[in-house]
Amino acid sequence: MTFETDIRQSAARLCLPTPVLSIVVPVRDEEEAIAVFLERVVSVVTALDDAAADSFEILFVDDGSTDCSLELLRSANAADQRVRVLSFSRNFGKEAALSAGLDHALGDAVVPMDVDLQDPPEALAAMLEKWREGFEVVFGVRSNRERDSAAKRITAHLFYRAHNRLSNDKIPEHAGDFRLLDRKVVDVIRSMPERSRFMKGMFAWAGFRQASVEYARQPRQHGTTKFNYWKLWTFALDGITATSTMPLRVWSYIGVTIAALALAYAGFIVTRTLIFGIDVPGYASLIVAILFLGGLQLLSLGIIGEYIGRILVETKQRPLYVVREQIG
Ligand code: UDP
Ligand code: MG
């Protein structure tokens, strides 16, 4: 977030008419998908029974694409002023792209949407309706997950279970990034300074009146998924460590347990020695000391680790993304 974009934004918000709806679309190497996406979304949105039909923008965030995506987006902007484009200097990841989209979107309501049309734009009608009723966050809940492989469904379920048990911010299961956010919510998210941006967790933290609409997640129209299992695993770890200190703290408990076990073992050895005499001199005191101190060390490392983990994440204070070019 640079000073310049802030000025630009407040100027736009004060002087120019701002759109009702901003659709934020992260794009990475999606040359086959962009044209189809635009055609479908524009036709669906212009047909909406809402003020958004005449007043919307589609803000693409090019997340360091290496194919012709940026060129396609450039010509889309030339053909239609409602299309705006931000282009990153390299790949920063989808979460950073969404952050940039929220920073630069001008609409009263903002909806992040994948370019592969897995989030059906038809669901926008129901979302806008809920928004008009006064809900500030309307998240899309996937009514079908059967298209995902069994492994993905199970791991996703385990992740939500683990996350919601360990963290105070409960995230709804089956809800992706496809959701409508009121300007108020967007501004809260933008004001959150943390570097590790696990969007689902941040939305959950922000609160506000929330509603959900069901939608059937579609198969990817073109291209292939940009997430492999390793990326999803890292993403899951980020998600848990971003909002929970439990993984650090657990070592303290393990340390206490080991120390307690070592103490009990010490009691056992002492009693046995008193009754049966010494079999290997020195062995008992040695093993007890090693185990007990090992436990204590884990305990203290756990406590230090808790602080270092937090400090590391926050001290770098680098920008979340670098914009090379802004079109429109
Ligand atoms: N994406 C991105 N940066 C990345 C990876 C993905 O902006 O590093 C975009 C991608 O172009 C798409 C959206 O994020 O619009 C979702 O990606 P994908 O469909 O590959 O994920 P999936 O639907 O399989 O979870
Ligand atoms: Mg997808």
Structure-model confidence comparison of residues 326 and 197, the more confident one? 326
- From 65, 116, 117, 147, mutation site for ligand 1 pocket: most ligand atoms within 8 A of C-beta: 116
Q: Tell me which of 9-13, 264-268, 303-307, 322-326 is least confident.
A: 9-13
Residues 152, 129: Cα–Cα separation, whole Å:
32
DSSP count for the chain of H helices, then E strands: 11, 8
**Scanning the structure block, which residue is given the tokens 């998908």?**
33
Tens digits of residue pLDDT in 199-217: 777 888 888 888 888 888 7
Q: Tell me which of 82-96, 140-154, 205-219, 257-271 is least confident.
A: 140-154
Query: Looking at ligand 1, which atom is closest to the CA of residue 30?
Result: 11
pLDDT of residue 4: 47
Q: What is the DSSP string of 236-284?
A: HHHHHHHH--HHHHHHHHHHHHHHHHHHHHHHHHHHHHHHH--SSTTHH
- Is the pLDDT at 3 greater than 60? The verdict is no
Ligand nearest to the CA of 94: 1
Tens digits of residue pLDDT in 122-180: 889 999 999 999 999 998 888 776 666 777 778 777 877 877 777 767 777 777 788 89
The helix/strand/coil state of 214 is: strand
Query: Looking at ligand 1, which atom is closest to the CA of residue 220?
Result: 19
Q: How many residues does the chain have?
A: 328
pLDDT of residue 16: 67
Q: What is the dihedral of CA 47, 10, 179, 37, to 10 degrees?
A: 50
Would the CA dihedral through 39, 41, 47, 53 be positive or negative? negative
- From 95, 114, 147, 149, mutation site for ligand 1 pocket: most ligand atoms within 8 A of C-beta: 114
Spatial neighbors of 171 by CB under 8 A, at least 6 apart, are 160, 163, 164, 200, 201, 203, 204
* Ligand 1 shell residues, CB under 6 Å: 26-28, 30, 63, 91, 93-94, 97, 114-116, 118, 220, 225-227
Tens digits of residue pLDDT in 36-60: 899 999 999 888 888 777 889 999 9
Q: Could you tell me which CATH class the domain 3-227+318-327 is placed in?
A: alpha beta
Closest C-alpha residue for ligand 1 atom 22: 225
C-alpha 227 – ligand 1 centre gap (Å): 7
Closest C-alpha residue for ligand 1 atom 24: 225
C-alpha 130 – ligand 1 centre gap (Å): 27
1 pLDDT band (50/70/90 cuts)? very low
Around Cβ 207, how many Cβ atoms within 10 Å? 12
| pTM for the full predicted model | 0.72
pLDDT of residue 133: 92
Residue pair 241/305 in contact by the 8 Å Cβ criterion: no
pLDDT of residue 14: 63
Which sequence spans correspond to the domains of the chain?
3-227+318-327, 246-316
Buried-exposed string 293-325: b where 16+ CB fall within 10 A, e elsewhere = eebeebbeebeebbeeeeeeeeeeeeebbebee
Ligand nearest to the CA of 66: 1
Q: What is the mean pLDDT of the chain?
A: 81
